[in-house]
Structure 1
Amino acid sequence: MDAEITVTELTAELTPTVVRLCEQALDLPEDAAEAACLVDVLWPRASAHRPVVGLGAYRGVELVGVLFCSVSSTEPHGGHVDLVAVLPEHRRRGVGRALLRQAERVLAEHGVTEVLLAGNPPYYAWPGVDVRYTPAVCAALALGYQQDRTAWNMTADLSYDGSPALRPTETAERRLADQGVTVRRAESTDLPALTAFARSTFGGTWDGELAGSVGRDGAGCHLAERDGEVLGFAAYGSSRPSWFGPTGTAPAAEGLGIGGVLLRRCLADQRAAGLTRAEIGWVGPVPFYSRSAGARIERVFFLYRRTLSA
């Protein structure tokens, strides 16, 4: 007979154990390889505006599953389940169900009335549930979550010198320079101007993602400016070293070719860091990435939500 499942809140000293569990429980190699980064992004980055809770499921004294959940920083009364990982040999034995139900109770205590199985920007590991994680899809449906959106990532191939993702940018940069536009790597001193530009031009949480990219190891950002005014940016590594984004160009500067240049400069950085592929996360303009970097859609995600009963 199975030992009873006990769910308790995780503490910081368990971080190495949690990382090892995620390395074993995340079936896709690209996710398992970045398990330590995912735990770092999703768990410790809590704040007064975005409470984060880590939960562990035990059978006896063995940690067999973990879950991270957080309160939305943008949606009133919204909560997110950011990660659920259960050891393969303990799946379909009630572990995921116990973790999700406890997460709902914890989030309700924070005033949450609707729970999303979806990324909580600016700190997220996936847009939603990768369709290849079949047990997670089955668990979501069994627990009454309704699919309401689909999202996708694109992949840029960095494995060979002639890849469209690695096309040189020098000619395009000279053309921009003739129009008074300078393209360069962003430094920490640029962060106030970049975040202000992101907030005023695009809204959302891109300013937070920029703060996680500029000046951090394994991450970076490039910008375009004219007469000291930011016209666009492209960043990578905020949530995961292998992921590109966010990126944006001022509406008045669209059509100059800024976006493609900034994108490929970032991809060149990621290739120089030893990556053979980069994921473009939570993609909107598919044709732009296909045209500018030869990127293709590879990962598809279902996003779920459930209203908590009173």
Structure 2
Amino acid sequence: MKIRTAEPEDMAALRAVADAALTFDSGAALVDRLAAPPAGRRWAVLAADDLSGLVMTSISDRDPSIGHIDLLAVRPDVQGSGRGRALVETAQDWLRGEGATVAKFAGNPPCYAWPGVDVRHTPAACLAERLGYTLERTAWNMTADLATADLSTAGDVARLAAAGVTVAAAPAGERDRVADFVREQWNETWAWESVNAAGLHYAVRDDGQILGFAAWGSRPAWFGPMGTAPAARGLGAGRVLLRRCLSEMRDAGLGAAEIGWVGPLRFYSRTVGARTERVFWLYRRELG
């Protein structure tokens, strides 16, 4: 079986393969997201010659010695035939050629599909271990039911206004100032996600000082990233930012919001009734 670099005319078929194989996500949407990475990223789409499977791979945006297996999908009717292994081994060869000394089955922020291997994708986890990858750490997502979550903000908005704080939306094309704040307070990864999100909200004092932000849609149907500066702690701005984003997601026709790569479980559980649902294993191996 031959593995080759995918051509632009192959992408429609490969999007269909991803949709058929990735039962917990929109595979086509993930392929599209990964195919529009930050400027300067080195990445590749490799495919089985019969277009029955694909792997998307990239070099880390932060450390060029690290490569990522970003997405692997094999058409269900030919799974178990060795295509997945051949695709990953070819991706590893591509990564070596780009100078990587380590490969990870893990997301390459800011433009990634998942934190790692969804534990429900048992064949992918088995393949990673068979190829010499070892478990590095675990990550998890939470889910908020947008039909039942309390997304009210009126009382909090009034209280913030009395304290001289406004919460506003940042339309696409008008996000540079918020992105600068995110970059200064956190990192370039979150700044890129904020600029490229479907929705972005921020809290700002009357004097123009930005205090916090929240974004959604930098990955399909996912909420995040979100952060508040130390000056905003205790004001309750984070609760408003979260609920405004989730309300916007509900208005967009989504029934649930996936809160990605979660840190503070208690905040999301108390604020919108979110529950921990998806768990990911992040794998790593040397490429000697």
Taking the TM superposition and a 5 Å limit, the aligned residue runs for 1:170-181 are 170-181=154-165
Superposition deviation, residue 190 in structure 1? 4.1
- Structure 1 counterpart of 2:32, which letter? D
The counterpart of 1:54, out of the listed 33, 39, 45, is: 45
* Alignment match, 2:28: 36
> TM-score by structure 2 length?
0.96
Between Structure 1 and Structure 2, how many residues are aligned?
Answer: 287
* Alignment match, 2:195: 211
Taking the TM superposition and a 5 Å limit, the aligned residue runs for 1:1-310 are 5-28=1-24, 31=25, 34-45=26-37, 47-48=39-40, 50-58=41-49, 62-159=50-147, 163=148, 165-188=149-172, 190-213=174-197, 219-226=198-205, 227-240=207-220, 242-309=221-288
Percent identity between the aligned chains?
50
Superposition deviation, residue 180 in structure 1? 0.4
The whole-number CA distance in structure 2 between the counterparts of 1:39 and 1:142 is 25
Secondary structure of the equivalent of 2:224?
Answer: strand
Residue segments in structure 2 that go unaligned for 5+ positions in a row: none
The whole-number CA distance in structure 1 between the counterparts of 2:31 and 2:151 is 34
**CA distance 1:189–1:68, shift in 2 (3 Å):** closer
* Alignment match, 1:216: none
Superposition deviation, residue 189 in structure 1? 5.5
Secondary structure of the equivalent of 1:255?
Answer: coil
The whole-number CA distance in structure 2 between the counterparts of 1:173 and 1:220 is 19
**CA distance 1:189–1:84, shift in 2 (3 Å):** closer
> TM-score by structure 1 length?
0.90
Secondary structure of the equivalent of 2:132?
Answer: coil
Residue segments in structure 1 that go unaligned for 5+ positions in a row: 214-218
Does the CA contact (< 8 Å) of 2:38 and 2:192 recur in 1?
no
Does the CA contact (< 8 Å) of 2:176 and 2:195 recur in 1?
no
Does the CA contact (< 8 Å) of 2:169 and 2:201 recur in 1?
yes
Does the CA contact (< 8 Å) of 1:232 and 1:248 recur in 2?
yes
State the superposition RMSD in angstroms.
1.2
Does the CA contact (< 8 Å) of 1:166 and 1:267 recur in 2?
no
The whole-number CA distance in structure 1 between the counterparts of 2:156 and 2:139 is 31
The whole-number CA distance in structure 2 between the counterparts of 1:42 and 1:141 is 24
The whole-number CA distance in structure 2 between the counterparts of 1:45 and 1:19 is 17
